[in-house]
Amino acid sequence: MKKFFVLLTVAALFVACGDESGSSAPNPIGEISSSSDEELGSSSSVAEKNFSSSVSGKNSSSSVEESSSSARNSSSSSAILFKQCEEGEQKIVVSEIDTGFVSCKDGKWVVDSIVDVVKPKVYPNMDSVFNPAVTYGSFRDPRDGKVYKTVQYYMEVQSGNTTVIDSFTVMTQNLNYADTIIDSTTTVFDDSKVEKRCYNDDPWYCDNYFGGLYTWSEALGLPKVCDSVGVVDNSKCNVKLGDDAKVQGVCPEGWHVMNETEWKHFAFPRGIDASYTMLSRAVWKDVKNTNSSGMSVLPYGDGMYDSQNSMFWMAHEFKEKPKMGGAFMINGFSTSSASSKYGFLYVRCVMDEGDTFVK
């Protein structure tokens, strides 16, 4: 915005110094862009300087009559000398950041209004979110009719001479349920409603696989006060937490917020970090992601989806830091992490029925 004011002022000074014949000033339009409503290109100080210079520049033998005559004509000559434009003339000036509407008043350009340039939004290509080689199931959330892809995960566990197959079914999309959408300016919350945010306060992201963003208490179906206290410190925060906890929270009936044990079975099969098998090929910068598990994890969407992180709430908190909730983080590696309960993270839901996974 300052660039607009500076360029127009420079243009006015150029006119003042370079047109002593009294002809019309060059048009300064084309380099203008400003948010100021003040008159631009003021020439009074320059006029005084030039007039003073013309008087002092005469040699000592010049007659007093000449000096006196010059002084008498100074008012009319400076008015012509510093004229920038024709009265009532209007221009539209376009820059990379805004468009200015200016008009000529008293021989000077004045900014009437400024309109910011609104650039078209550019969204990521989501064609490769899911793995076409994976056989997906589906679940329709009866609360709002949204349909989610699911995948059933299996793992063979050797118990003595017996091979046990554990399994569970998980949504391969971030949950996108809410009664209302809030934005980044919201400071008052309603415990009677499920509230979500969308990345960049843009519903497009919620509706295109990024899903909703929830605070810790919202994810676990608790009152907002539970974001600022430990669950044992307030009777309203009545929830059982733990690595194997199955808390419905914001998930549909018959489902629970994916817990740490379930995340780790996906992330560490055979004890090796295999987070790359969970990451979608869409959006992430690393093209080595295989998404062979079908989990189709997208980057974290709380205002920085290109950060190459992804974080999900779990039914866990830290006793020594009651305002910190447990989250599962993926960033080229997988780990359990602490995150401020006030922050907004994703939620994945696991079906209660058929879930045989324990530590």
Q: Do 103 and 191 have their domain in common?
A: no
Residue 157 and residue 16 share a domain:
no
| Residue 96 backbone dihedrals phi, psi, to 5 degrees | -70, -25
Q: Looking at the domain assignment, is residue 128 inside a domain?
A: no
Read off the pTM: 0.68
| pLDDT top residue among 190 and 3 | 190
Please state the rounded mean pLDDT for residues 136-163.
88
The pLDDT, as a whole number, for residue 148 is 98
Average pLDDT over residues 313-329: 91
Question: Taking all residues of the chain, what is their mean pLDDT, rounded to a whole number?
Answer: 78
Confidence label for 221 from pLDDT (cuts 50, 70 and 90): very high
For range 287-299, the mean pLDDT:
89
Task: List for the chain the helix, strand, coil content (%; round to 5).
Answer: 25, 25, 50
Q: What is the pLDDT of residue 248?
A: 97
Do the Cβ atoms of 284 and 299 come closer than 8 Å? Answer: yes
Question: What pLDDT is stored for residue 93 in this prediction?
Answer: 87
Cβ atoms 313, 221 nearer than 8 A: no
Residue of 57, 86, 85 whose CA lies nearest to 70: 57
pLDDT at position 305: 52
| Inside any domain, residue 131 | no
Does the pLDDT value for residue 271 go beyond 80?
A: no
Task: Write down the pLDDT at residue 267.
Answer: 86
Query: What is the model's pLDDT at position 38?
Result: 41
> pLDDT tens digits for 30-88?
333 333 444 443 333 333 333 333 333 444 444 444 444 444 444 444 444 466 888 88
Q: How large is the average pLDDT for residues 137-163?
A: 87
Mean pLDDT for 6-30 is 40
* Domain enclosing residue 321, as ranges: 137-351
Q: Are residues 205 and 276 in the same domain?
A: yes
Task: Tell me, yes or no, whether 230 and 335 share the same domain.
Answer: yes
Q: Are residues 85 and 225 in the same domain?
A: no
* Rounded Cα–Cα distance for residues 247 and 242 (Å): 10
37 lies in the same domain as 7: yes
Residue 32: the pLDDT is 38
C-alpha–C-alpha distance, residues 259 and 270, integer Å: 19
Residue 167 within any structural domain of the chain: yes
Q: Band the pLDDT of 135: cuts 50, 70, 90.
A: very high
The residue among 84, 116, 148 that closes a domain is 116
Show the CA angle centred on residue 210, arms to residues 313 and 169, nearest 5°: 60
pLDDT of residue 11: 40
Among 54, 83, 116, give the residue marking a domain's end.
116
Same domain, 147 and 273: yes
Q: Do 318 and 251 reside in the same domain of the chain?
A: yes
pLDDT tens digits for 242-258? 999 999 999 999 999 99
At which residue do the structure tokens 């006793």 appear?
319
- Band of pLDDT at residue 359, cut at 50, 70 and 90: low
- pLDDT, residue 70, reads 46
**Number of domains observed in the structure of the chain:** 2
The pair of three-digit structure tokens given for residue 274, joined into one six-digit string: 């295999």
Instruction: Please state, as a whole number, how many other Cβ atoms lie within 10 Å of the Cβ of residue 237.
Output: 20
Query: Which of 94-103, 161-170, 274-283 is most confident?
Result: 274-283
- pLDDT for 4 beyond 70: no
pLDDT of residue 175: 98
Indicate whether 309 belongs to any domain.
yes
Give me the percent of the chain exceeding a pLDDT of 70: 72
Residue 176 CA from chain centroid, whole number: 18
